[in-house]
Amino acid sequence: MPNFKYKARDKFSKLVIGSTVADNQADAARKLTEMGYVPVSVSEIHELSTDRILKKFRGVGLDEVNTFTRQLYSLQKAGVPLLSSLEAISVQVKNQYFKLVIEEVSRDIRGGLSFSEALKKHPAVFDEVYVNMMKAAESGGLMVEILSRLTELIEQEIDTRARIKSATRYPMIAFFVLCLGFLIVITFVIPRFAAVYNQFNATLPLPTRILIGLNLVVQKFWYIFIFIVTALIIGFRKFIASNTGRPVWDNFKLNVPVIGPLIQMLVMSRFARVTAVLLKSGVPILEVLSLVSGSAGNIIISRAIENIKKSVVQGKGMSEPMKISNLFSPIVVQMVYIGEQSGKVDELLLSVADYYDRESGYMIKNLTTYIEPILIFVLAAMVLLMALGIFMPMWNLIRVFKPV
């Protein structure tokens, strides 16, 4: 959505300057009115071409967000005002796109938005968990404590991503090298056999004809191939973003062999840890469940959390709907039940998060073991096709030249 800068008057007739995101100018004015402002002027912000290029080609890594959060925590703990903290951090940031984001967050806060509302305008940098935890920090006056907890969450996520990358690096490199070799064979080797065979009016073996067909697609119809692949990607992305497709895709991700259980454990670990952190920080349970439901990252799990919230509202506790959902293992349900009985839900949820972290750690460690059989099968099929495509014509040529 476009970004609009505005000048408005508050209820004390004080001039307020800031920016907001809206569909159009009228929508921006309506939002200002809802905020209790009287719009004076509203105009769209046209970004400089350099800003657009930065946003398109330069992202913000999780390690950079972690550094930002740790610095903000230190400054807030020292009693430095929020705007002054953001300005001090912005000066030190080397990533120009991230610097622009921090400066825009500062402008929005000066314009009357809360910190969480300003962060929400940059979902590519600050995810829903980050925004919702800042929202809870603002409502409970717990900025320092939640920033401290947030750095722990981010560092743990960085570690998890690093382990996944490490486990999948070798299979990805092996697959890439074989694909490159396959492309070289169908582009340079197979056409030469075809030319020789044409001289003798001989019929090429089926594997070789398949490889020549692939070569034809690569050389003459590459644009059609790219168009089809692009259309499929766009169609798929639109489908999974729709109200119909999103639940189907999220459910599929949770049920994919090997990967599904890992995704489920990682999401559940984040749910348990964020819930525990917010509860230990004094945020009410219903508010916590609302926040984590909106930032679960999976609509199936979000619905399960909503059912947990409904159960809590009815005074039935969390363990029963967790059991019904079939998303939580029996040992986790039992741990939460014990936490409810002892009044130590936050501590038990941290234990649940640790349990999921350990289990996901084992799965990530053995990920290569799970991937290897599939990779070997795919590689064997590709090597067999290439071998037959190359050697069968050679054997046939020997028969062609063999004296009768």
Is 271 among the domain residues? yes
Is 244 among the domain residues? no
Is 287 among the domain residues? yes
Supply the range of the domain harboring residue 13.
1-46
| pLDDT of the residue at 269 | 84
Task: Check: CB of residue 306 under 8 Å from CB of residue 296.
Answer: no
Task: Check: CB of residue 130 under 8 Å from CB of residue 65.
Answer: yes
Is 224 among the domain residues? no
The CATH number assigned to the domain holding 312 equals 1.20.81.30
| Sign of the CA dihedral running 354, 356, 357, 363 | positive
Is 89 among the domain residues? no
Is 198 among the domain residues? no
Q: Which residues of the chain have pLDDT under 50?
A: 48-54, 56-57, 404
Is 216 among the domain residues? no
Count how many domains the chain has: 2
Task: Check: CB of residue 281 under 8 Å from CB of residue 145.
Answer: yes
Is 283 among the domain residues? yes
| pLDDT of the residue at 86 | 92
| pLDDT of the residue at 71 | 93
Helical spans, DSSP H, in 111-244: 115-120, 128-140, 143-184, 190-199, 206-220, 222-241
Helical spans, DSSP H, in 326-344: 330-342
| pLDDT of the residue at 2 | 65
* pLDDT tens digits for range 155-165: 888 888 888 88
Q: Does pTM surpass 0.85?
A: no
Helical spans, DSSP H, in 244-329: 245-255, 259-280, 285-294, 299-313, 319-325
| pLDDT of the residue at 164 | 83
25 burial level (CB within 10 Å; 0-12, 13-18, 19+): middle
| pLDDT of the residue at 201 | 65
